[in-house]
Amino acid sequence: MQTKPTTIKEIAQILGISVSTVSRALHDHPSIGLTTRAKVKKLAGELNYEPNQTAIFLQKGKTHTIGVILPELSEAFFSSAISAIEDTAYKKNYTVLLAQSHDDEQKEKQLVEKMKNHRVDGLLVSVGKSTSSYQHFENLKKYNIPVVYFDRIPSIPNIHYVACNMEIGTIEAVSYLLKKGHRAIGMINGPQTMVATGERKEGYIKAMTKNRLKYDPSLIVSCDLTEEGTKKALDELLASKRKPTAIVTFNDYVALFAIKHATKLNIRVNKDLEFVSYANLPLIHYMENIPAASVEQFPYLQGQKATDILMDLLHHQDTGSTEPSAFYKVIIESQLVENKK
């Protein structure tokens, strides 16, 4: 029983011709006679020969594989983005190689190196929350491997990216709570290393200023986005002189952690303390107490647009045409979605 795929070398040995002749015959090269071509193709069919696509791609300098590095594959947000990436890449005959950094900067660096060694043609990245240096991505320029960032983008110039407008989304979230009569509005924000953390803070301040309310820095607390970090952040806000009646959380997972902790403290969620979050993930509809509203960030659309950009950059490489003079900077407008239960 045959266990290994048939090679061109084996076909050449059986027919008593050179490997290069077999290769040319399989590709209908005009230098090979019709009789030889027919013999080669007949034997190749009998032996179930299939071309080694990896070898062919490497000869052409392309593998038709793109790499994707994400913080957590298990998160619903990134699962939706992955679906878009695979759907879009498949239409262009590209294979997708997935990896997760688990928000570990060192692992992220190792994954970039592995992606390079696997000869990916390009890379899609959502950076880890603890990543403070981006040189490992910048180094890929030396190998002509384009990188497109989405959702979690680094604070460096001259990059291609797709992101959601978190500042406008935050203004909408805070304004929504203000219209409901809240004046002491807290925020459980993310790590300072993340661009989105600063965008949320800016949106919060602008919303308060727009409504002629004084900005109180004690009402914004950063956390590491873990359950323990969220609990500490909530405790800090509840101990504040201006105890908040509503809180905007960094994402739906942080909202879940905060609501769970608030319930244990006998706080009536969305009565004593109202929550608004980001991402609008399906999981919130399975929670006993859900955020009053959530900012939709359109992960599928982000993944789709990021892949489209990467495909365009790779197309320019393949055709030898001039690459775009400007960097792609795509901003998707967020949308506040009120939750009903």
Model confidence pLDDT, tens digit, residues 248-294: 999 999 999 999 999 999 999 999 999 999 999 988 888 889 999 99
pLDDT of residue 279: 93
Phi, psi of 69 (to 5 degrees): -115, 120
> Above 80 in pLDDT, residue 55?
no
Burial of 149 from C-beta contacts in 10 A (0-12 / 13-18 / 19+): buried
Q: Which residue has the higher pLDDT, 320 or 220?
A: 220
Model confidence pLDDT, tens digit, residues 324-339: 678 999 999 999 999 9
Distance CA 57, CA 51 (A): 11
Model confidence pLDDT, tens digit, residues 91-113: 999 999 999 999 999 999 999 99
Asked which of 182-191, 286-295, 317-326 is least confident by mean pLDDT, the reply is 317-326
Instruction: Tell me if the domain spanning 62-156+300-333 has CATH number 3.40.50.10710.
Output: no
For residues 330 and 162, the answer to whether their CB atoms sit within 8 Å is yes
pLDDT of residue 322: 65
Sequence-separated contacts (24+) of 74-82 with Cβ below 8 Å: 75/253, 76/279, 76/281, 76/282, 76/283, 77/151, 77/251, 77/279, 77/281, 77/297, 77/299, 78/126, 78/299, 80/299, 80/300, 80/303, 81/126, 81/150, 81/151, 81/299, 81/300, 81/302, 81/303, 82/303
Domain definitions of the chain by residue range: 8-51, 62-156+300-333, 166-296
Model confidence pLDDT, tens digit, residues 30-42: 899 999 999 999 9
What is the H or E stretch that residue 106 is in? helix 105-117
State which amino acid sits at residue 45. Answer: G
Asked which of 26-35, 68-77, 153-162, 208-217 is least confident by mean pLDDT, the reply is 26-35
For residues 61 and 89, the answer to whether their CB atoms sit within 8 Å is no
CATH superfamily of this structure's domain 166-296: Response regulator (3.40.50.2300)
Tell me the pLDDT band of 323, cut-offs 50, 70 and 90: low
Instruction: Note whether 62-156+300-333 and 166-296 share their fold.
Output: yes
> Above 50 in pLDDT, residue 1?
no
pLDDT of residue 230: 98
Phi, psi of 221 (to 5 degrees): -125, 130
